[in-house]
Amino acid sequence: MTDQDSSDRSAELLRLTLPKMSKHGGGYHPVSYALWYDYVSGENAALRAAVDAVLATQERLTHAATHELYQQFLVDRAEEAVSKARTELMELLGQMQSSVNSADTQTSGFNAHLDNFGREIARTDSMADLKTHVGGMVEQVRSLSQSLGALQGELGRGRDEVRRLTEELERVRDEVLTDPLTGLLNRRGFDRALSASLEASRCGLAPLSLVMIDIDHFKRVNDTYGHVFGDRVLHGVAAAIRASIGRVEAAARYGGEEFAVVLPDCDLAAAQATAEQIRSAVERSRIRKANGDTIGNLTVSAGVATCRPGEAALDLVERADKALYASKSAGRNRVTAHTA
């Protein structure tokens, strides 16, 4: 392909990208541009399939869905942040090493001046010569003090920079593992939380349970009230889940209108009670529309499973999911435990 062909193709892709940015929830934003440019290029089949799957159920991508797909398919912010931090830390170490070497050179020179000062003082027999040697020594002390002061300042700046980079890494880590709409863990965060809880459960032989939750008739909510209100429903259900669990439990938006709650040190009966508390909280809740009106009668179905000895994460999720769909089949708005 010639440079002209490449330029023509880029222009054509841009022409196809802009209307999609305008139509969908991401708007004219770099994230939206990256998503739709990649989509129309056809080079990312997985992204295109995921976008088409969402658009098969709704007319347009919401802002939250745009960012979620971007995060899932186009960039790994954690790896990007770690690479950036590694580069900046290496530069910082180089600067600090240079300052230390400079101070070390100054210190070595000062030691030589001390030796010479001692010899000169021993041979001095006039006040004028003594004054000259003391004046020279004062200059050496002043020079060393400035050098060490510069090193101290450099080390202080280095400490501040390391603190800044640490905070940035923590912020990006939280962003990568968090669902932007609900504030709960996203799918990646859930996978990590479940894996860590499984490992801790095996080491301590403590029970571990999982609750899978799905909003009943969520498509009907979107079709009736619109996707903006649908996002409010997701946010409201997430708030009900968060209010029903403790700090050691991990709640996640598993995907779409489905949520998951990891319950460490929790047997089947206790997990059922937690799931019932969440179900009841959602049933009592009311979601406010943009005009101030509130909508009630929202319900969720839940499935609960407790980890078996040596059970893999995927198997535990599958059993909790089976229990969830048993709740759906039995009429929704209920909790079912997988006991088989």
Share of the chain above pLDDT 90, in %: 32
Distance CA 41, CA 33 (A): 12
Helix axes 218-225, 227-244, angle to 10 degrees: 140
Burial of 203 (C-beta count, 10 Å sphere; 0-12/13-18/19+): exposed
What pLDDT was estimated at residue 147? 66
* Domain at 187-337, CATH from 3.30.70.270, 1.50.10.150, 1.20.1270.10, 3.40.50.2020: 3.30.70.270
- Name the token pair of 283: 């049933």
Catalytic residue among 257, 258, 311, 318: 257
Among all chains, which residue has been given the structure tokens 């959602």? Answer: 282
152-173 pLDDT, tens per residue? 666 666 666 656 665 665 666 6
What pLDDT was estimated at residue 269? 95
What pLDDT was estimated at residue 180? 85
What pLDDT was estimated at residue 236? 93
pLDDT < 50 stretches in the chain: none
What pLDDT was estimated at residue 209? 96
Q: Residue 68 catalytic?
A: no
What pLDDT was estimated at residue 282? 95
Distance CA 241, CA 271 (A): 13
